[in-house]
Amino acid sequence: MQSKPSTVRRIADKPFHIDREQVREAAKKLSDGAVTQGYKGNREEVVSMLNDALATELVCVLRYKRHYFTASGLENEPIKAEFLQHAMEEEGHANQIAERIVQLNGEPDFNPRRLSERSHADYDDSSDIKSMIRANLLAERIAIEAYRQMIERIGDDDPTTRHLLISIMAKEEEHANDMSDLLD
Ligand SMILES: [Fe+2]
Ligand SMILES: [Fe+2]
């Protein structure tokens, strides 16, 4: 069997030199903050997709909090604890996303009136525990698929945002798995 030539090898074979002119250019426009002229992403599109993700995370915080506070019954305590933990983790995601939007010189959209229309996943106010778990599993699966599409779209154009979205998506996969375990 013929082995495929390794890309890593080919890149390593060429001596690497920093493009010093490009680097000096980057040092000039201080008003652009973290965005240098070499940034390859479509900044406005990335900010807009991040704002949709921000809305999704905030709606997820609200849904998990609603479930945490309204689920009752001693036997449901471990499930409530899981809801609370997820709520806190979704809030962490929202913070990370808002921070990235600002780094990209964008405006994080926290306007409550726009949250549910921007969010990919839905709010839920079910009163029985099974419906809560099911609604959360559904929302997590939606979030995973939305992140997957965003990561694909960004490709290699914005490695920092890509890296952030991959780490958040991995957490959503854990969340989906937690909810799926609870349903069994
Ligand atoms: Fe999240
Ligand atoms: Fe999640």
> HSE (CB half, 13 Å, CA atoms) of 153?
17
CA end-to-end span of the chain: 45
Closest ligand (CA of 173): 2
User: How far is Cα 22 from Cα 4, in angstroms, rounded to an integer?
Assistant: 34
> How many A from CA of 98 to the centre of ligand 2?
16
**pLDDT, one tens digit for every residue, the chain (184 residues):** 455 555 555 666 789 999 998 888 888 888 899 998 889 989 999 999 999 999 999 999 999 999 999 999 999 999 999 999 999 999 999 999 999 999 999 999 999 999 999 999 999 999 999 999 999 999 999 999 999 999 999 999 999 999 999 999 999 999 999 999 999 8
> How many A from CA of 2 to the centre of ligand 2?
43
Q: Measuring CA to CA, which residue among 109, 90, 106 is closest to residue 147? A: 90
User: How far is Cα 120 from Cα 62, in angstroms, rounded to an integer?
Assistant: 14
Q: Measuring CA to CA, which residue among 39, 30, 67, 77 is closest to residue 162? A: 39
The pTM of the full predicted model, rounded to 2 decimals, is 0.89
Tokens coding 24: 């000096």
> How many A from CA of 118 to the centre of ligand 2?
17
> How many A from CA of 162 to the centre of ligand 2?
18
Residue 75: which H helix or E strand, with range? none
User: How far is Cα 146 from Cα 56, in angstroms, rounded to an integer?
Assistant: 10
DSSP state of 18: -
> How many A from CA of 125 to the centre of ligand 1?
19
> How many A from CA of 32 to the centre of ligand 2?
32
> How many A from CA of 140 to the centre of ligand 2?
5
- What is the tens place of the pLDDT at every residue in 135-169? 999 999 999 999 999 999 999 999 999 999 999 99
Question: How many CB atoms lie under 10 A from the CB of residue 62?
Answer: 19
